[in-house]
Structure 1
């Protein structure tokens, strides 16, 4: 019989590690990695696993600095010859941000899988063990090699660059809007449905956490953007309307920030489709382009912010930062 591949499972917390505390009547992190793995039946038949308890926090408690520590932690595991791949458990609220952060910063070709759960272990239909099983099956698959970081829940395998949480409750909450999953886990095997996309690597050990994220809405003004520009923020991401257009008074804030040489990345508040300077009225994408704003393709605001944090951690050169976002999409 062939030797089973070894997978490192790094637990960081999240709903997958939670039980309902009877005193407060709400779910909190309580389970260790070993306790969670005890509920994952039959996994020893397909892989050898080694458990690591990195943290025990809910998704909203994750920080950019902790993400960088996690990156370093995972990189050390990936250097081990006996480890074929790494699975990371994470709270789903910020899972896509951490997964994308790792995708941008880890260069190893070994499979790296991020998973979690939508239901705590106190709820009927706890999906943690199923998602962990699918993540391990992905991590041992040769088809997952050199695919970057993958997100696996509900037996679906998504590229970290494309995965986004779309529903507050559904088990299939993570979707690759407009492009579909990379593949699925079927009978414990990874079945691919498309090729991997292009991938950006930002080789840095620094992260600039002072990056603001603003969503546009009708009648919004310049106040918050000017506040960020005057209070030490090093970058700004704007979730614009439609193709990349903002209200006229909000435009004044972007102009103010750009006059201070603060990089401003423009994405859309729409769920899919890239931004483009196809309109020419006041506050339009063309105006933003003329101010030197960077266009973020089809990234959602939270991922554009992660990318700008890492880009600013590496360089202050606006052209280099622009290349991280626009090269291969706009030129």
Structure 2
């Protein structure tokens, strides 16, 4: 039988509001909520101390990514399931994917969550956990990279986004394809996984700022976060990744100081270099800004954290070009 490691971080999937059972269930207790026979693998549960899901720190994200990679490469597990809060699940999933390396080829790493409390009527947690264990034990996900499993759907970490905080269908890969589903105790793939990210050369940098741009914003907001210690900045632009013209000089200055500035968009965009775009995006590229290659702003921040481990601005630029 396949062996799967469960890394349990608490949050909604483990939270009970009943006075008699209030508090956070351990990983072992979560496994007890799954009906007998629904688990398709031997599961070893480990609890990981973590912040609430809406406030998961980069340090905790990196810890989970390293534990998952180690479980597959060094501890002999066939797969890993991470239970996580919904709010920042996509960031942790993508950061874990960027750092998975050879583990993505030798096993499956699956993140899951719940939108309903453990003791709510028709709680989605037990089913999501059972489906995630099934997915983590299935060789069909080898080479697929890190996935998110919710509502029996499998989403690639690169494509998944939380789109609804009110129901169990909280995540979507659109406009990308759904990677697959869990049905009948097995994984059914329905799309080709995204390409694997570039190899990681060094330790990620955790101090990366994400700033939402708006017309007329003061460029001192960028220098303020650098003065506070940020080693890189992601700007959330509009449209095709346009940023206010008043930021161009500061982008040029920051790049000269060795602070990479990555420009993403609040909209879905094509995976093309920033310099190939027109208007504000193209001008920002001329000032030294780096394109996010179609990533959402929060994922661009995770990518920049990893890219900074490769070196300075030009090393980051090269890494993003291969992302």
- Out of 53, 77, 81, the residue aligned to residue 83 of structure 1 is 77
Structure 1 residues 286 and 257, CA gap change in structure 2 (3 angstroms): same
Match of 1:131 in 2: 128
Structure 1 residues 8 and 237, CA gap change in structure 2 (3 angstroms): same
- In structure 2, C-alpha distance between the alignment counterparts of 1:250 and 1:33, rounded to whole Å: 47
Match of 2:316 in 1: 321
Helix, strand or coil at the partner of 1:198: coil
- In structure 2, C-alpha distance between the alignment counterparts of 1:14 and 1:262, rounded to whole Å: 35
- In structure 2, C-alpha distance between the alignment counterparts of 1:178 and 1:71, rounded to whole Å: 26
The answer on 1:53 being equivalent to 2:53 is no
- In structure 2, C-alpha distance between the alignment counterparts of 1:56 and 1:301, rounded to whole Å: 23
The answer on 1:67 being equivalent to 2:61 is yes
Superposition pairs of residues 257-268 of structure 1, within 5 angstroms: 257-268=254-265
Superposition pairs of residues 4-153 of structure 1, within 5 angstroms: 4-20=1-17, 30-43=24-37, 46-55=40-49, 57-79=51-73, 83-107=77-101, 108=103, 109=105, 110-153=107-150
- C-alpha displacement of 1:189: 1.6
Structure 1 residues 29 and 300, CA gap change in structure 2 (3 angstroms): farther
Helix, strand or coil at the partner of 2:17: strand
Helix, strand or coil at the partner of 2:302: helix
Helix, strand or coil at the partner of 2:134: helix
Determine if contact 1:96/1:164 at 8 Å carries over to the other structure: yes
Structure 1 residues 29 and 203, CA gap change in structure 2 (3 angstroms): farther
- In structure 2, C-alpha distance between the alignment counterparts of 1:254 and 1:45, rounded to whole Å: 52
- In structure 1, C-alpha distance between the alignment counterparts of 2:288 and 2:100, rounded to whole Å: 29
Alignment length (residue pairs): 319
Helix, strand or coil at the partner of 1:83: coil
- C-alpha displacement of 1:267: 0.8
- In structure 2, C-alpha distance between the alignment counterparts of 1:29 and 1:204, rounded to whole Å: 41
Helix, strand or coil at the partner of 2:63: helix
- In structure 2, C-alpha distance between the alignment counterparts of 1:204 and 1:83, rounded to whole Å: 25
Superposition pairs of residues 228-243 of structure 1, within 5 angstroms: 228-243=225-240
Structure 1 residues 326 and 76, CA gap change in structure 2 (3 angstroms): closer
The answer on 1:298 being equivalent to 2:294 is yes
Structure 1 residues 198 and 154, CA gap change in structure 2 (3 angstroms): same
- In structure 2, C-alpha distance between the alignment counterparts of 1:95 and 1:180, rounded to whole Å: 19
- Out of 172, 175, 178, the residue aligned to residue 178 of structure 1 is 175
Match of 2:153 in 1: 156
- In structure 2, C-alpha distance between the alignment counterparts of 1:43 and 1:304, rounded to whole Å: 40
Higher helix residue share = 2
Helix, strand or coil at the partner of 2:294: coil
Runs of at least 4 residues off by over 6 Å: none
Structure 1: 5+ residue runs without aligned partners? none
Helix, strand or coil at the partner of 1:168: coil
